[in-house]
Each structure stands twice: as C-alpha cells, then as structure tokens.
Amino acid sequence: MAATASVNEICTMRIELCDSDPLIWRQVEVPTSMTLKAMHEAIQAAMGWFDYHLWEFTIGERRYGLPMDEDWGTEPRVEAGKVRLRDVLTPGQTAMTYVYDFGDDWQHRLVLTNIRQGDPDIEYPRFVAGEGSAPPEDCGGLSGFYEKLEILGDPLHPDHVELKEWFEDYDPNSIDELVIQISLSRIARRRNAARARIKKKAT
C-alpha cells in the first residue's frame, strides 16, 4: 500500500460500555495508521474519561497496553505504542475488549468495521454518533454507578446531598458532542505533521 493511501485509511469503531443499561455507546471514525496507544486516547476522548487509570486491549488471547513490571502470571502484554491498528484488523469485522481502570473495571466492547479510504480533507479521529454519558470516574464500577444514580433520584436518602454535590450537573442521558469533537480534534491535529511529511515525500 502506498504511503499516502496507508495514512488516509480509516475504519469505523463502535464503542460500547458493557452491561450499561440503557447502552452507553459511541461511534468514531479512526485512522488505521494510529497506534493502539493513540486509539486508547481516542476512546478516552469519545467516552469522556480522563485517563487517570491503567488500561489494556485484548484481541483474541493477546493483551496490549502500557509496559508493566509485573504481568501477574499472565502472558506479557504487548506495548500498545508499538502496534498500529491496521496490524490487528481483520477483513470484515474486528472485535476487541478495552478495559479502563482495573479497580472500577470499565469493560468496553469495540467493533471495528468498514475499512476504507478517508476523505483527505477531513481530520481523523472523528465523532459520528453516540448515546448516554459515561459514568463519572471512580464511582465504583457499574454497580456503584447505578446505586449512586438511585440515591440521586431519592431526595430523602441520607447521602443524596453529598452525592449531588459530587456529581454536580451530571446527566446520564446527555452527551456533550462539542466536547468530544474538540477532544478528538486535538488528537487529529497531532497527526497532521506526520501526515504532511508523508504527502510531501510521496510527491
């Protein structure tokens, strides 16, 4: 594949927060030339997480993430910054798991489809669609999140006022698309210099 074609190739990534009800999901167009570490950053931006915690991808039986001193008796994880998305994609559809925060254990199902050439005038990654606000950081995983939502809905609960202050103006049914678009555009701009160099070299 030519350098320009390779850097312009994209795919559609659907991100689902496993076991959320109603389902919290995002759809993002991502360049296949990005590393898995950069894809982690795109997922963080799309979901509204703040990259406070450890994370890893699992594709088949192989794990990808940051290098760690201990792998707790499992196969060592592959360093995500050294693997490009296109290296792990399969024709048709590729499914993988993305876990963020090993304590709260936010499990995400990722489905990547429709590998194709992107529009050279559009910056990727790019937000396409989504529903639901991701839970706040450090709220105790899904069970803790839904328990807290119940308390927020009960003004008579003894913890209601404290939780309301902590959650501030959080709305589980809303999604701030502008914030997501801005966050993803920052990642996209970081690719521009390398993309411009490849185009210049190819001409």
- Output the domain CATH number for residue 58: 3.10.290.30
150 and 70: one domain?
no
Task: Say if residue 40 is in the same domain as residue 17.
Answer: yes
CB atoms within 10 A of CB 73: 5
Do residues 95 and 60 share a domain?
Answer: yes
148 and 163 together in one domain: yes
Looking at the structure, tell me whether residues 143 and 94 fall in a common domain.
Answer: no
Judge contact between 107 and 18, C-beta under 8 A: yes
Same domain, yes or no, for 56 and 145? no
Structure tokens belonging to residue 118? 């992107």
One domain, residues 42 and 113: yes
Q: What is the mean pLDDT of the chain?
A: 92
Position 96 scores a pLDDT of 98
| Sign of the CA dihedral with 172 first, then 176, 182, and 187 last | positive
| Interval 56-115: pLDDT, tens | 999 999 999 998 766 555 668 899 999 999 999 999 999 999 999 999 999 999 999 999
Same domain, 92 and 187: yes
Q: Look at residue 162 in the predicted model and tell me its pLDDT.
A: 96
Does pTM surpass 0.95? no
Residues 125 and 90 in one domain: yes
Report the distance separating Cα 42 and Cα 78, nearest Å. 19
State whether 47 and 144 are in the same domain: no
Give the structural domain span for 179.
Answer: 3-134+174-202
Q: Tally the domains of the chain.
A: 2
| Spatial CB neighbours of 152, under 8 Å, sequence gap ≥ 6 | 160, 163, 164, 167
